[in-house]
Structure 1
Amino acid sequence: MKVDLLVQNGWVYRTYRQCFEKADIAVVGEKFYDVSPASCYEADLVVDAEETYIIPGLIDVHMHIESSMIGPAEFSRAVLPWGVTTVAADPHEIANVFGITGIKRFMDVKTDLDIFYAIPSSVPAAGPDYETSGGVMGEEDVLKLLEDGRVICLGEVMNYRDLVSLQDTKIKRIIEQCQTAGRDIRIEGHCPSLTGRDLAAFIRAGVDADHTQQTGESVLEKTDMGMFLELQEKSLTPDVINTVVTHRLYENVALVTDDVMPDHLVTGHLNRVLRLAVERGMAAEQAVYCATFTGARRMGLHDRGMIAPGKQADFVILKDLVHFNPLAVYKSGKRYENGSGEEKTTYPDEFYQSVKCRLALESDFKLNRCKIKNGKALVSVMQVQESGTRICHGKRWIPVKNHCLCWQEAGLCLAVVYERYGKHGGVSSGLVENGLKLPGAVATTWSHDSHNLLVLGNSPKDMLLAQNRIVHMQGGYVTAREGAVSASVNLPVGGILTDGGLDKLAEDLSAVRKELEDMGYKNSNVIMSVSTLTLLVSPELKLSDKGLFDTKERQGIPLVEKYECEKGKG
């Protein structure tokens, strides 16, 4: 018997036993033909893998292509060299801008990377009463997407209140559509703060996975309740890793990326998460299991995730089990080189004209409608944390002078959101603590999840400049200091994507990141932290184009809770 490819003498990963053994791998066409201790096949191509490790292609079952700010073809070219051969992409960012039209534009692109899709469950994420999006996903859109075999799950369900409501709600109808689709459509969840009875109700409603930030305690509670956990980088704390290892929860866990920024993508993807899991205390054999097999099984991708006869021949050759940087990547039996056969994503003209909000005025940054002339006001503030996307709900007394809130004098930043789709032109404001320390501003249309235009700063002249530049650019990121633009990223496709290459994008975003850090913004991922000030499904206090919201209770919060006049003055 002559095979197409024979890989000899490598340490091959044995999935069910979670170990490595010396073996030869025979490939015919796109599938593994045989895996044996010493093969006797002739082959058209023989590869000597002596002193290397061979693992299945990495499988990322919870991620968003748009977080890397590039289209599917460029994303494929970026991640395959890191050993990622299959992803399940939730395109809810492009859906929030363009609805099902944006999703189909993604799905039409042919790539070497195997991209399966989730149906965005919540567009807009919190609902039209809370934020304005460009696109809206309805039940008819869900039915259309369910007809495509590449659709394998319902993307992260976020709307807890509608999900457990006694009323007939849209999300409950969408879940029922998926459950009665005639094939196994998994229901993915987003429940960072649910526990106890609330968590039980969430799971009873049909959602049995979560990818949000975990603690050791939440890992135990959620897995005990039958949830499958998708652990991204921010969840790989020593506490979480110790909990998984101590209780041997590998069957209930997959490693995922969720969001990878462009300037991070050039240094790694899921292989980086795999490396971190090992650094934090998970054995390499178990970490590989959670980066390949468990995710494939979760999503019903039974033709991949292990090196075995009849499975798709996706595999990665590694020098060691420490760095997880591939020596070679094989996709469907062929060594991946440079993606020259992949298409460039093309977009219609209207995708380049999606930022339709007005230019900012200097008056937008003056909070001058206080009920008292002089005194002080108790205000709600969004408190940025040094890690993760949680924004705590704080309260501060700040001065009021001549009917104006003196937010600069109080050492706060001002956040302003502009509705950018030309629907009603709404503008809302909130105050931010632990934002920029030095005078300056940042503006972006990459603001989760509805991607309205957000400007944050403590210098009105720089805020005005940054917002105006974003509108003229038709989207992206801009930082400004001392009356001049200091860094920018051009994202003209829907205000969230470039139509260019990754390297230039990564360089530009790195400059924006450095500017934010130099201005004193402190967070483990400053880009994501700024972009999630508007994420209404993440705790605790967030801002949309329709105002400030307590994200757990889904209640509007007034900026000013109460006033106190100066003695003897009105």
Structure 2
Amino acid sequence: MDVDLLIKNIDVFNSYFKKFVKAHVSILNGKFLYIGINEAYKLCPAKVIDGKGKYLVPGLVDVHMHIESSMATPMSFSNELIKNGVTTVVSEPHEIANVFGIEGVKEMINAAKECVVDIFYGVPSSVPSTSSKLETTGDEIGLKELKELLNEKKIICLGEVMNYMDVINDPNSKSISFIQYVKNNYPNHAIEGHCPKLIGLDLAKFIFYGVDSDHTQHSVSEIKERILNGMFIEIQEKTLTKDIIEFIIENELYEHVALVTDDVMADSLVNKGHLNKLVKKAISLGMKPENAIYIATFTPSRRMKLSDKGSVAPGKCADFILLNDLEKFSISHTFKDGIEVYNKDKEYVIKENKFTFPAKFYESVHLSKIEKEALQIKVNKEKLKVKCRIMEVKDTTTFTREIFDELNVVDGIVDWVNSPYCLIAVFERHGKSKNVALGLVTGDTIKHGSVATTYAHDHHNLLVIGKNPDDMVRAANAVIQNQGGYCVVNSGQVLAEIELPIAGILSDCSMDEIGQKVGKVRMAMEKLGYNHYNPIMSLSTMSLPVSPELKITDMGLIRVSEGKIVDVIIE
């Protein structure tokens, strides 16, 4: 029998026994055919590879991630994934949907059509992440848009339901209507969840209504409660800790978990890798390589009903990687549909990015120049001091804490410049409300200078933080001029910046170029005193009103647990 490729004498990962077996692997028409030794002599391969000393594992599958987090287009993102052995992803494009709604989602799908990696999508279920009463977005996704998007072939799940407060408190909420529609009409579509710190009856209600996965940061006890209640857990890097790995190993919970990346910055992607990085970390924390591979290939494929992915067996897609070293998970080759797409010993020629977004996507920051007067917290002129509500940033998490302190007042203006705190401001940039909200920040954030960005989860308004008004307006106006991006300023000088002109959140540069600029932004923020494992994500999520505890949008400070606006000044 003629076959396209035969890989001889290789250790093959069998997903069903979670172990390696010595075999010859044959491929025909982009799919695996015969995996064995005894009858390989009956095959006539067009090409033979000697796999002696190597390991063959399925291509890695990431079922919860956001391409926009890399600040790159799907093509640039795909080019980088191949080097890291990732052959299938499920992206949730709620970032661009918050700017351009259903059109943004469709353009992301179109932009991925020529990618080597299989890119599937989830319908963004929370656009806005809360409601128009708490944040202003460029557009919204409603039931009408949900129904239209579910007709797209590349849509395979309902994206993360973030507004868990609505789900557990309002049976008539938009989130509930989305969940019910998908359950009734697309029963094979997974329903993805986002419920940080939710426990007890509230967690039970969230699951009861149909959300049966979670990817947010958790303790061991929270992981245990979720799995006890039948939830599938998607483990991102900040949840990949020794105690959680030991808990999974001790209780043999491999069927109920998968590794996911969620958000990966471009510099980290270029320099450290993607899902392969998490596999290596899981191994370093004590998980057997076979089990780490299993939860990065088979369980995520099963979660998303991708039955032809995640295993090496007859009829399955021949997406696989070859490893030189199992413990180090060092990748030598990546194959997609049986064709070699990456070889570490050959020059890697990236696929050219020919797709361009519509012209209006490059003109989405509708803001005039910011003036210093907009950065004044005004109070009664008779007051000498006021009690303030303050957002505290902590390393190791993107959650914040609500604290309180008294600040001096000078001529009716809160003197935040001479306080220990930074000012944080959000300017509505979609050309709708012209809202401006002000707050105060402390903790593991900057100690001088300023940082501004339109990459502000999830509404992507203009967010600026700083220790003095001059640097704040310099940074903010640079981002406005660039039609989106990040800018770091100190003493009037721009230390680093990246232009993100596509919807204010993406660049059409190569991943290497984006990675270099993002790396400089990260280092500049650290130079200003930002003491966080991911300062870019930490700052960007200060405006995410579904992530505990106190956040800020263009509407004001949001106490997340209550889903309501609270004042910066406490009378």
Is TM > 0.5 for Structure 1 vs Structure 2? Answer: yes
AA of the residue aligned to 2:164: Y
Mapping for residues 269-288 of structure 1, pairs under 5 Å: 269-288=274-293
Question: Which deviates further from its counterpart, 342-351 or 325-334?
Answer: 342-351
Query: Unpaired segments of 5 or more residues in structure 2?
Result: 343-347
Confirm or deny: 8 A CA contact 2:448 2:529 kept in the other structure: no
Indicate whether 1:11 and 2:11 are aligned.
yes
Mapping for residues 162-173 of structure 1, pairs under 5 Å: 162-173=166-177
Quote the residue 2:54 is aligned against: 52
Quote the residue 2:328 is aligned against: 323
* Aligned-residue offset at 1:158: 1.1
AA of the residue aligned to 2:222: S
Query: Across the two proteins, how many residue pairs are aligned to each other?
Result: 561
Question: Which deviates further from its counterpart, 245-254 or 176-185?
Answer: 176-185
* Aligned-residue offset at 1:164: 2.4
1:397 & 1:365 partners in 2: Cα distance? Answer: 19
1:426 & 1:437 partners in 2: Cα distance? Answer: 25
2:28 & 2:374 partners in 1: Cα distance? Answer: 65
Quote the residue 2:71 is aligned against: 69
* Aligned-residue offset at 1:161: 2.5
2:218 & 2:260 partners in 1: Cα distance? Answer: 13
Confirm or deny: 8 A CA contact 2:394 2:444 kept in the other structure: no
AA of the residue aligned to 1:381: I
Q: Among 363, 366, 371, which residue is 2:376 paired with?
A: 366
Where 2:104 maps in the other structure, the secondary structure is helix
2:139 & 2:349 partners in 1: Cα distance? Answer: 31
Question: Which deviates further from its counterpart, 452-461 or 316-325?
Answer: 316-325
* Aligned-residue offset at 1:436: 4.5
Mapping for residues 93-108 of structure 1, pairs under 5 Å: 93-108=95-110
Where 1:336 maps in the other structure, the secondary structure is strand
AA of the residue aligned to 2:544: L
Residues 161-189 of structure 1 show CA distances to partners (whole Å, capped at 9, x for unaligned) of 22123442211111121112244111100
* Aligned-residue offset at 1:364: 1.7
Mapping for residues 455-474 of structure 1, pairs under 5 Å: 455-474=464-483
Quote the residue 2:231 is aligned against: 227
* Aligned-residue offset at 1:46: 0.5
Confirm or deny: 8 A CA contact 1:542 1:549 kept in the other structure: yes
2:170 & 2:498 partners in 1: Cα distance? Answer: 45
Mapping for residues 258-269 of structure 1, pairs under 5 Å: 258-267=262-271, 268-269=273-274
Confirm or deny: 8 A CA contact 1:7 1:26 kept in the other structure: yes
* Aligned-residue offset at 1:371: 2.4
Tell me how large the CA RMSD over aligned residues is. Answer: 1.3
Where 2:295 maps in the other structure, the secondary structure is helix
1:285 & 1:464 partners in 2: Cα distance? Answer: 52
**Shift in alpha-carbon separation, 1:32–1:411, aligned structure 2, 3 A:** same
Quote the residue 2:451 is aligned against: 442
Indicate whether 1:209 and 2:213 are aligned.
yes
Indicate whether 1:400 and 2:409 are aligned.
yes
AA of the residue aligned to 1:28: L
1:284 & 1:30 partners in 2: Cα distance? Answer: 26
Mapping for residues 303-452 of structure 1, pairs under 5 Å: 303-337=308-342, 338=348, 343-367=353-377, 369-434=378-443, 436-452=445-461
Confirm or deny: 8 A CA contact 2:235 2:257 kept in the other structure: yes
* Aligned-residue offset at 1:396: 1.3
Where 2:33 maps in the other structure, the secondary structure is strand
* Aligned-residue offset at 1:378: 1.5
2:151 & 2:163 partners in 1: Cα distance? Answer: 25
Q: Among 300, 324, 327, which residue is 2:305 paired with?
A: 300
1:169 & 1:430 partners in 2: Cα distance? Answer: 29
Confirm or deny: 8 A CA contact 1:153 1:185 kept in the other structure: yes
* Aligned-residue offset at 1:334: 0.4
2:441 & 2:141 partners in 1: Cα distance? Answer: 31
**Shift in alpha-carbon separation, 1:141–1:439, aligned structure 2, 3 A:** same
Quote the residue 2:119 is aligned against: 115
Where 2:88 maps in the other structure, the secondary structure is strand
**Shift in alpha-carbon separation, 1:339–1:190, aligned structure 2, 3 A:** farther
Confirm or deny: 8 A CA contact 2:197 2:218 kept in the other structure: no
* Aligned-residue offset at 1:321: 2.0
Residues 115-163 of structure 1 show CA distances to partners (whole Å, capped at 9, x for unaligned) of 1110000101011110001121011111111112321110110112221
* Aligned-residue offset at 1:324: 2.0
* Aligned-residue offset at 1:340: 5.3
1:453 & 1:26 partners in 2: Cα distance? Answer: 53
Quote the residue 2:178 is aligned against: 174
Question: Which deviates further from its counterpart, 464-473 or 154-163?
Answer: 154-163
Where 2:456 maps in the other structure, the secondary structure is coil
AA of the residue aligned to 2:356: T
* Aligned-residue offset at 1:325: 3.0
**Shift in alpha-carbon separation, 1:524–1:429, aligned structure 2, 3 A:** same
* Aligned-residue offset at 1:106: 1.3
2:512 & 2:328 partners in 1: Cα distance? Answer: 22
AA of the residue aligned to 1:363: E
| TM-score using structure 2 length | 0.96
* Aligned-residue offset at 1:435: 5.0
* Aligned-residue offset at 1:485: 1.0
2:157 & 2:447 partners in 1: Cα distance? Answer: 44
Q: Among 69, 84, 87, which residue is 1:85 paired with?
A: 87
AA of the residue aligned to 2:61: I
Where 2:470 maps in the other structure, the secondary structure is helix
Confirm or deny: 8 A CA contact 1:266 1:503 kept in the other structure: yes
**Shift in alpha-carbon separation, 1:166–1:360, aligned structure 2, 3 A:** closer
1:435 & 1:271 partners in 2: Cα distance? Answer: 29
Confirm or deny: 8 A CA contact 1:74 1:344 kept in the other structure: no
* Aligned-residue offset at 1:376: 2.0
Where 1:423 maps in the other structure, the secondary structure is coil
* Aligned-residue offset at 1:374: 4.2
* Aligned-residue offset at 1:520: 0.6
Confirm or deny: 8 A CA contact 2:124 2:158 kept in the other structure: yes
**Shift in alpha-carbon separation, 1:321–1:184, aligned structure 2, 3 A:** same
Quote the residue 2:345 is aligned against: none
Confirm or deny: 8 A CA contact 1:361 1:464 kept in the other structure: yes
* Aligned-residue offset at 1:16: 1.2
Residues 340-378 of structure 1 show CA distances to partners (whole Å, capped at 9, x for unaligned) of 5565331111001000022211112222x2225343221
AA of the residue aligned to 2:139: G
1:462 & 1:264 partners in 2: Cα distance? Answer: 27
1:527 & 1:188 partners in 2: Cα distance? Answer: 25
**Shift in alpha-carbon separation, 1:24–1:342, aligned structure 2, 3 A:** farther
1:516 & 1:501 partners in 2: Cα distance? Answer: 23
Where 1:463 maps in the other structure, the secondary structure is helix
AA of the residue aligned to 2:74: P
Where 1:21 maps in the other structure, the secondary structure is strand
2:251 & 2:37 partners in 1: Cα distance? Answer: 33
1:540 & 1:345 partners in 2: Cα distance? Answer: 39
Quote the residue 1:194 is aligned against: 198
Quote the residue 1:141 is aligned against: 145
* Aligned-residue offset at 1:14: 1.0
Mapping for residues 492-503 of structure 1, pairs under 5 Å: 492-503=501-512
